[in-house]
Amino acid sequence: QVTPGPASRKDALTTLADVAERLQRRLLPGAPPDVPGLDIAFTYRSASAGVLSGGDFVDYYARPPSGSLAFAIGDVAGKGVDAMATTFVTKFMLRGAVYGGHLSWPTHPGDALQELRNGLLEQQDFGWDTERFVTVLFGQLTPRTGILQLAAAGHPAPFVVREESVERPLLVTEAAIGVELDVALEPYPTEILRLAVGDLVVLFTDGLGELRDAEGRLFETCMAEELAGSHGERAADVVARLVAAGERFTARPPDDDLAVLCIGLTALTG
């Protein structure tokens, strides 16, 4: 048996580091697609030092020339490398279901989550002897009509910023994927809303919503107030201002992965 010398070990470590970085970068949200009538912006931050991506993910799905956008935001329980591995499986299993499976386009959010759940529960990470679970929110927006469809598996409900109000849809959701292993679900409940020009949809993970101030209050309880008055603003400005408000609000440095996605309807294209 040949023992690798220092140079060989160094080369092996360099290769592993390169592979790890490439995989992490595949998990980071790509540039939003250019969809007429929509303004899209996001931010992502990993809580683990030296790790580019962790348990949160954001993804988009578009098939020109349909003009519709599907999107997802999710959060895998835990942090670091283990969470990152499950996030990788979750993100690309959902992407495969949308692009390569039998789902119709535009994708119905409830069907997409059912497909994801069925696939994930076949993985070794999910079982009676594990505590792994995933929260996911899947949406589909058609700027031709302003119709927004949303379905969630245990994920925080988004905010919809209208001209005169900030609403919180998704009164009916199902448990996070992996929590109820013996329950066979039909397609997840889907809520349908109609947006007007200037309306915004703001989605986030609990890395933002569960920030706490010195009195123990959750930032999620203050987000509607922070978003009030932002109707018609650029999505990137809304994301930046919301994250900055969370950083001012929290009493201690954030210790969880964070993702925020904002989609604004800038025009009805029909």
Could you give the strand order of the β-sheet that contains 200-204, starting from the edge strand earlier in sequence? 38-45, 258-265, 200-204, 159-161, 166-167
What is the model's pLDDT at position 80?
Answer: 64
Lowest mean pLDDT among 21-30, 86-95, 140-149, 231-240: 21-30
In this structure, what are the phi and psi dihedrals at residue 174, rounded to the nearest 5 degrees? Answer: -105, 170
**Of 222, 211, 215, the residue nearest 252 (C-alpha):** 211
Greater confidence (13 vs 233) lies with: 233
Please tell me the distance from the alpha carbon of residue 85 to that of residue 252, in angstroms, as a whole number. Answer: 28
> Which of 7-11, 161-165, 179-183 holds the top average pLDDT?
161-165
**What contacts 21, CB < 8 A, 6 or more positions away?**
52
> Which of 110-119, 157-166, 185-194 holds the top average pLDDT?
157-166
At 98, the pLDDT band (50, 70, 90 cuts) reads very high
| CA–CA–CA angle 210, 158, 37 (5° rounding) | 140
Contact 17, 9 (CB under 8 A): no
Is the N-terminal amide bond of 169 cis, ω within 30° of 0? no
Contact 109, 164 (CB under 8 A): no
What is the model's pLDDT at position 19?
Answer: 52
Phi-psi region of 56 (alpha: psi -120 to 50; beta: other; left: phi over 0): beta
What is the model's pLDDT at position 22?
Answer: 59
pLDDT tens by residue, 201-242: 999 999 999 999 999 999 999 999 999 999 999 999 999 999
And the tokens for 244?
A: 């900055």
pTM over cut 0.85: yes
Q: HSE on the CB side for 5, CA within 13 Å?
A: 1
Please tell me the distance from the alpha carbon of residue 107 to that of residue 97, in angstroms, as a whole number. Answer: 10
Please tell me the distance from the alpha carbon of residue 227 to that of residue 240, in angstroms, as a whole number. Answer: 11
**Of 205, 212, 210, the residue nearest 248 (C-alpha):** 212
Is the per-residue pLDDT at 129 higher than 80? no
Is the per-residue pLDDT at 71 higher than 70? yes
What is the model's pLDDT at position 218?
Answer: 96
Contact 268, 145 (CB under 8 A): yes
How far is C-alpha 68 from the geometric centre of its chain's CA atoms?
18
What is the model's pLDDT at position 9?
Answer: 60
Contact 211, 254 (CB under 8 A): yes
Q: What is the dihedral of CA 155, 161, 164, 166, to 10 degrees?
A: 20
